[in-house]
Amino acid sequence: MKALDDPILEALHAWRDDQITLGKLRAGALNNSKLTQVLRSGYTDADEIAEILPDSVQWAAAHLARILALPRPMAAREEKPAAPAPDPVRADHDTASTAAPPIGGDSDSVQVSGLSVQATATGHRLSWPAAGPGADRVVRYRVTALDDEEPYRADGGRVIGETDSNEIVDTAPLINAVRFVAVWRFGADTVEQADARPAVAVARGHITCAPVGFTISTDHGSVAGQWSTLARTRRVRVYREPVEAGVRRAEEPYRILADQDNLTGFTDTEAVPGVEYVYRAVSEIDAGEGTILSEPVFAEAAIPGDLRPVTDLAVTETVDGEQIWLDLAWTPPPTGTVSIYRTAAKPPLSLSEEAMDRGSISSTAIAPDARLDDTSLLPNPVVAGVVSRMTKIAWPQNWVFVHLTPVTTVGDQVQVGATVTAVRDGSIRAARIIERCDEQFITLTWPEGTDEVRVHLADQHIPVESAVAEPPDSVMHAAGYDRDGGLRLPDPLPARGCAVHLVPVTYSGGLARPGAVTTVAYPGLLRVRYEIGFTTDKRRERWLVVKLASELDVNPAPPFVLVHREDRIPLHRKDGHRFTEYHYDQNSGPARMEAIHPMEMRRADDHLIWRVRIEDRRGFVRLFADINVEHQGLLALLDPPVRTLWITDPPRGR
């Protein structure tokens, strides 16, 4: 038995090779080592042989048992003997064509091949290897079947039909889960000789019945399959295979409910919601000498997942030169897959109200720049984990807003999550303060997409972060900017100066999103008021009296000069005659000065008074600060009423 030329081992190899040729056995599923193990085991019972075979080929146990039970000569591969001479008795009679052929059986010299079975709309097509070169001139086949055991006689069992081809269709319905079929050959050089010879079995096989009427349904987290089985079905093997696994046959790792017979169906309570499965059912059939397996039947099912939206999508920005990259993170829902869409406009809120068909989110009724379709679907891969991530999402250069919307998908249903809006931080440019003595006006270039600009005033030594954390002193809205071109501050800025912090703000999802802070330094403004009066002394000399009043304590104080012009009010310090002799009112001596130049000015000082002799001058006078141009923006000299700037005539009688 250990010899490599053992006829039984050769017969096992031959049967295996035929099954591979017929497509009933996968190459490698029953290798030489396994067949040698079967031979050396000493088993002849099909059930015992099945125990040492892989699950996928246990159906072959009955066939192997039959070969192992054959005598050595019958298993040997011998040359086909020459056809016997015609029976002289039958040759002399015309009844040869009608007489019943002799009863035959398995020949010692003819190898019994496997039978190929293919289900059709009307029954089962049975085929077998055709007679090869050197076969008899006349060959006829008889196909017989039994439902309880294999037919071992050509006249035993139901005759499916006779044919001279190598295939036939059995249209009879199955009454058991297995039907045993044998193909008998009658061959010779003439019809008469063929009829006279004993029939030889050339092929054997089974027609099996898989579970009938396989239907599948889902119910509250479970999957139920139903079917019926015919007699001789021992049990039904059930396999649950994820569709994404790409499995196309029943494999042991996917088998479920192995401890049950599943003769009428099954209930699977361990399927994962949201995952699509293929359920395959294979009947284990009692073939008398062992168990054979039917072809599988299958159905697809998926437990609807609990469609939950993503509500915690977080966006992080990274700036690389002119390019902005976005990184996303979110908590994955328990079922379904999450896709991210990027749109220039925010999708309608109605999309997130309830679950809907996949096609609804890309409806043409939605504006193109807010539509969740293939053009807005991000191709970036999702890095799965406790927190899912997506990185390196580009911010289109010409977009102010980027709306990112997560969509959970289970089957054909989707649930739109909360949209997160990223706003390109608008930069305030060309900000400056235009001042007109008692009022200030802020102008700037309005940042695109900004809803408002907040104005925060603070001392220059206060950190920017602390200053902008306080409520704003003023707010400039986009509509007001479009109308006025800037913001007119409701109150004058502090005279001693301050920092003016401008913060662009964009509203997204009801939340304010502050942008980059722009600070304008306001140096302050010294406001000095003056009054003009006239008087005549005892010597009847006419004097013009100038009284100064400062809003701040100033030390040192700037110089001032008085300018006269007869025809109109002077416009600047060089626009007319400049007085050069001034007398401080508190100085009783003859000392005079070339300008009004106090040492200091205090807010409560009532003695900032100077006099200047005007003699017989007529016209207008006006006071100017005698300072350089670069310092003129830091001081405002407030004129009194124009009528007081006119040099009045002296009283009559003097």
For every residue of 591-652, DSSP letters joined together read: --BSSB--S-B-TT----EEEEE-TT--SEEEEEE---HHHHTTEEEE---GGGGB-PPPPT
pTM above 0.75, yes or no: no
pLDDT at 89: 30
pLDDT at 433 over 50: yes
User: Please, what is the end-to-end C-alpha distance for the chain in angstroms?
Assistant: 161
Question: Residue 15, SS3?
Answer: helix
Q: What single-letter DSSP state applies at residue 231? A: B
- 322 or 61: which carries more pLDDT confidence? 61
Do you know the residue count of the chain? 654
As a CATH number, domain 212-302 is: 2.60.40.10
Residue 142 dihedral angles phi and psi, to the nearest 5°: -115, 130
Can 88-208 and 429-522 be said to share one CATH topology?
yes
Tell me which CATH code domain 314-423 carries. 2.60.40
* Res 304 pLDDT > 80: no
> Over the chain, what is the mean pLDDT?
83
- How many C-beta neighbours within 10 Å does residue 535 have? 10
Which one is the CATH code of 429-522: 2.60.40.1120, 3.60.110.10, 3.40.50.2000, 2.60.40.10?
2.60.40.10
Q: How far apart are CA 426 and CA 409, in angstroms?
A: 36
Q: Bigger pLDDT: 586 or 61?
A: 61
For the ranges 260-274, 453-467, 592-606, the lowest mean pLDDT is seen at: 592-606
Q: Inform me whether the pLDDT recorded for 257 exceeds 80.
A: yes
For the CA atoms of 370, 371, 374, 380, what is the dihedral angle to 10 degrees? 40
How far apart (Å, rounded) are the C-alpha atoms in residues 118 and 172? 14
Q: Which pLDDT value is given to residue 139?
A: 83
Question: What would the mean pLDDT of 106-128 be, rounded to a whole number?
Answer: 75
| Average pLDDT over every residue of 6-15 | 84
* Alpha-carbon distances, residue 399 vs 137, 344, 425 (angstroms): 85, 7, 11
- Over pLDDT 90: what percentage of the chain? 37
- CATH T-level assignment (fold) for domain 88-208: Immunoglobulin-like (2.60.40)
Q: What is the pLDDT of residue 91?
A: 30
Give 448-503 pLDDT, tens digit per residue.
778 899 999 999 999 999 999 999 999 999 899 999 889 999 888 888 899 999 99
Q: Is the pLDDT of residue 209 over 60?
A: yes
- Domain residue spans in the chain? 7-75, 88-208, 212-302, 314-423, 429-522, 526-645
Query: Is the pLDDT assigned to residue 99 strictly greater than 60?
Result: no
| pLDDT score of 61 more than 90 | no
pLDDT band at 426 (very low <50, low <70, confident <90, very high): confident
Give the pLDDT band (50/70/90) at residue 72: low
